[in-house]
Chains A and B, each alone.
Chain A
Amino acid sequence: MKKSNSSSAEQLNTNANEDSRGHLQVADKKPRYKKKRMKSQKFREAATGYFFLAPALILLGIFLLYPMGAAFYYSFTDFYILTPNDVSFIGFENFSYILSDAEFRQAFWNTVYFAVIVVPVQLAVALGLALLINKKIRFRVFFRTAFFSPVVMSLVVVSILWTFMYNPNEGLINELLGLFGIPAQPFLNSPDQAMNSIIVMSVWQGAGFQMMIFLAGLQNIPTHLYEAADIDGASKWQKFLNVTLPGLRNIALFIFITITIAAFKLLVQPMIMTQGGPLGTTKSLVYHIYETGFNYRDVGYASAMAVVFTVIVLAVTIIQRMLTREEGGV
């Protein structure tokens, strides 16, 4: 905003300079009246800028910054929903309990497991689908729509549908497996299979969106690069490795980071499909925080976990940025 302000102002008065902070300064030698007009102009433009910013700033303030600040404050208290007028400061007690909370530990590792599997798999599936529909094959539009449609559906609806499909006795998936003589699987009822079942469903639901972004990236790679490779006698695989992948690099990094953050925020699927079970094997961090705060009314402890969660996600993102930047990325 500031930048566009100053550049448009500059066009009006070429004698204006920018100081280090990007603010306009008017050269001293200019007549006084000009300076005055300049100032009111600048003020007007800034006011307009803030006027347009206001709705976003107010909403962000009320629904993002204020709750974040409140959560940070509550994380040091024993806030219990039923006694909102009896909140006392308890220092780091909530944080020290996190260390001995077996459920938090389990939820943490569940979430890490989910992210470690989902991120690369979803990235690969999205790229594969994008490559597939980037070809000039028949029914391209149909495939594109089909692969993208799960993204349009509400995650809650998708979760309910897949719960039916995963039903061990009457579910569609076991019926299909039965056709091939594979015995019925327990899926969501088995501590070993529940999280993997959620992962499969999540990748299916999410990959279509990243596919679209990859597709845009693929279509941005100049054709002359492929033509040059053809002249050099490159095979299809060599073209993929040396032209396509480098061309998609920045987009892949963007997708990598957004999928990671989204994976850490896993909530809807376990909430709808398994309620965190069986035996807590699908309980994610966010779901654990939600349950603690709303079902068990322990807002203080839930806030402390939310603060820790934010720090974890922030750390993961920063590490990712550092690693990818070193290689000369975005």
Chain B
Amino acid sequence: MNKLSIFLFGFILLFLAACSSNSEGTSGNSSEDGSTEDEDTVETGEVETNVEATGDEDVVLDFWIHQTGEDETNAYIERIDAFNEEHEDIFVEAEVIIDDGASAYSDSINAALVAGNLPDVMAIDGPYVSSFADAGVIRPIDEYIDEETKNQYVDSIIQQGTYQDKLYSLGAMEASVMLYYNKDIFEEEGIEAAESLDEAWTWDELMENAKTLTTEDRYGLNLFMNEGVGEWLTFMGAPFTWSNGGSLVSENGMEVDGHLNSPETIESLNYVKSLFEEGVVSESPSQTQFEEGDAAMALGGPWISVSAEEAELNWGMMPYPYKDEKVSPSGSMAYAITENTEHPEEATELMKWMTNEESAITVSEATGMPPAQKSAFDSMEKYDELPYSIMKEQVLETAHARPSTPAYPVVTDAYAQAFHAAALGEDVEAVIDQQINRVEREMKRFKE
């Protein structure tokens, strides 16, 4: 784009922004007029930020962010504003796209990909980095980032953003799954909780205590099976398999035979199956089973801290139970720059800004997710003591990224199908055998 067209483009955007501010009031801009009732709502689509383009900027970056919650999006917009203010020569034009947890956000990316108009920087889900990288949709950023900056991130985020030894993506937040528990019920039943990673429960302890905690009108454990057959099952469930020495795919992400169907993998899913067979977990819990006290424990994400707090539950956190190795789920939304961009250096600058310590803290405070910057943990006091110290320990020590393979969409579905079959008491091995063919066919595509 030459200067003139950038200028025209900027002018049009300004014009559009002016129009929308007249008709709709604030959108994602809460400081202007505190009295409007929709001050907290963030509309999807182009976002009106506090800092406006002057039209003199050398570089305009298109930036797509996902929206799962208003507070989260407002945190991003706050950081984008700060970026625009700080950088005279770069202007970030952000667009918010709804992410319903299913396919709404990826449909937008797919459509833009085929039409050839991807933005300069976009948010993508961690495990999808490999497939985008393999297809040449996103580009490596190694040349724009030094070792020192790289080391500031927690290992699992760098692991998640790396494909074939090249770094593609950076994230502001991590995620994890902890064993939440209801303190009142534990006291009643006389069960002692694990208070650090060293005291983490083994599979046997989990089973035994879950049985004790299960009564006629209460389940011992909640695995949020109400989320359906999807990414949750892989995210929450795969540590059972890893802890038992199993795997989903090979190291290089190209083989599935001997991994997804290995005896260790099948054994781990059979353990999951036994939890359901003993009746300590429900295969169709209500959304708020744990918060309502209808389940004594729950393997849930950081968002459970938020909802349990809101429900005024007396709750605590324990590390993810283990068999041989202590591992915990990891991975979250991250940013990557596309091959489309004409300004990779500035785009990387934006990514680093959106994931630096200050951004990580802002986002973490808005979402309750753990930050992806090691130093952020030091400046956030809540992570120094229970229950959040458990989350910190897991992110720093046991976080295990999901497999890095371009066939991830099929791999994760295959694993989720097997996990779900285990929950229904079906023959896990038979289901995995069916899935193997499908995954192998998909992997062939990437071997050529």
Q: Do these two chains interact?
A: yes
Across chains A and B, the number of contacting residue pairs, with CB separation under 8 Å, is: 72
Contact of B103 among A83, A84, A280, A294 (CB under 8 A): A294
- Chain B residue contacts of A169, Cβ below 8 A: 282, 284-286
Q: Tell me the bound Cα distance from A277 to B417 in angstroms.
A: 8
Min Cβ gap B62→A in Å is 19
Binds A, one of B20-28, B186-194, B256-264, B418-426: B418-426
Q: Flag if B424 contacts A189 (CB, 8 Å).
A: yes
Q: Tell me the bound Cα distance from A191 to B134 in angstroms.
A: 37
B413: Cβ under 8 A from any A Cβ: yes
- Chain B residue contacts of A197, Cβ below 8 A: none
- Chain B residue contacts of A113, Cβ below 8 A: none
Contact of A167 among B106, B286, B441 (CB under 8 A): B286
- Chain B residue contacts of A103, Cβ below 8 A: 438
Q: Flag if B420 contacts A277 (CB, 8 Å).
A: yes
Give the contacts of B66-116 with A (CB-CB under 8 A). Answer: 103, 106-107, 110, 113-114, 116
A81: Cβ under 8 A from any B Cβ: yes
Q: Flag if B424 contacts A295 (CB, 8 Å).
A: no
When A189-B283, A189-B284 are in contact, do A275 and B230 touch as well, CB less than 8 Å? Answer: yes
Contact with B along A189-215 (1 / 0, CB 8 A): 111000000000000000000000000
Give the contacts of A102-144 with B (CB-CB under 8 A). Answer: 102-103
Contact with A along B34-55 (1 / 0, CB 8 A): 0000000000000000000000
A279: Cβ under 8 A from any B Cβ: yes
- Chain B residue contacts of A168, Cβ below 8 A: 284
Q: Flag if A170 contacts B409 (CB, 8 Å).
A: no
Q: Flag if B413 contacts A295 (CB, 8 Å).
A: yes
Q: Flag if B434 contacts A102 (CB, 8 Å).
A: yes
Q: Tell me the bound Cα distance from A82 to B129 in angstroms.
A: 12
- Chain A residue contacts of B136, Cβ below 8 A: 83
Give the contacts of B119-169 with A (CB-CB under 8 A). Answer: 131-132, 134-137
A278: Cβ under 8 A from any B Cβ: yes
B431: Cβ under 8 A from any A Cβ: yes
Q: Flag if B286 contacts A277 (CB, 8 Å).
A: no
Q: Tell me the bound Cα distance from A275 to B445 in angstroms.
A: 25
Most buried by B among A82, A188, A190, A275: A82
Q: Flag if A294 contacts B107 (CB, 8 Å).
A: yes
Contact of B137 among A82, A190, A278, A280 (CB under 8 A): A82
Min Cβ gap B434→A in Å is 6
B229: Cβ under 8 A from any A Cβ: yes
Q: Flag if A277 contacts B434 (CB, 8 Å).
A: no
A97: Cβ under 8 A from any B Cβ: yes
B442: Cβ under 8 A from any A Cβ: yes
When A169-B285, A279-B424 are in contact, do A81 and B110 touch as well, CB less than 8 Å? Answer: yes
Contact of A97 among B106, B410, B421, B441 (CB under 8 A): B441
- Chain A residue contacts of B135, Cβ below 8 A: 80, 82-83
Contact of A191 among B229, B410, B424 (CB under 8 A): B424
Min Cβ gap A256→B in Å is 34
When A80-B445, A102-B437 are in contact, do A294 and B284 touch as well, CB less than 8 Å? Answer: no
A296: Cβ under 8 A from any B Cβ: yes
A297: Cβ under 8 A from any B Cβ: yes
Q: Tell me the bound Cα distance from A190 to B445 in angstroms.
A: 35
Min Cβ gap A191→B in Å is 7
Q: Flag if B113 contacts A81 (CB, 8 Å).
A: yes
Q: Tell me the bound Cα distance from A97 to B214 in angstroms.
A: 48
Min Cβ gap A159→B in Å is 13
Q: Flag if B286 contacts A278 (CB, 8 Å).
A: no
Q: Flag if A296 contacts B103 (CB, 8 Å).
A: no
Min Cβ gap B135→A in Å is 3
Give the contacts of B341-368 with A (CB-CB under 8 A). Answer: none
Min Cβ gap A94→B in Å is 11
What are 7 A-B residue pairs whose CB atoms fall within 8 Å in the complex?
A83-B135, A186-B284, A190-B424, A278-B421, A278-B424, A278-B426, A279-B424
Q: Which residues of B come within 8 Å of A, CB atoms?
A: 103, 106-107, 110, 113-114, 116, 131-132, 134-137, 228-230, 282-286, 409-410, 413, 417, 420-421, 424, 426, 431, 434, 437-438, 441-442, 445
Interface contacts beyond A169-B285, A170-B286, A279-B424: sample of 19 additional A-B pairs, CB < 8 Å, sorted by A: A82-B113, A82-B132, A82-B134, A83-B136, A102-B437, A103-B438, A167-B286, A168-B284, A169-B286, A189-B424, A275-B228, A275-B229, A279-B420, A279-B431, A295-B103, A295-B106, A295-B413, A296-B409, A296-B410
A-B CB proximity, top 6 nearest: A82-B135, A84-B114, A81-B110, A275-B229, A277-B229, A83-B135
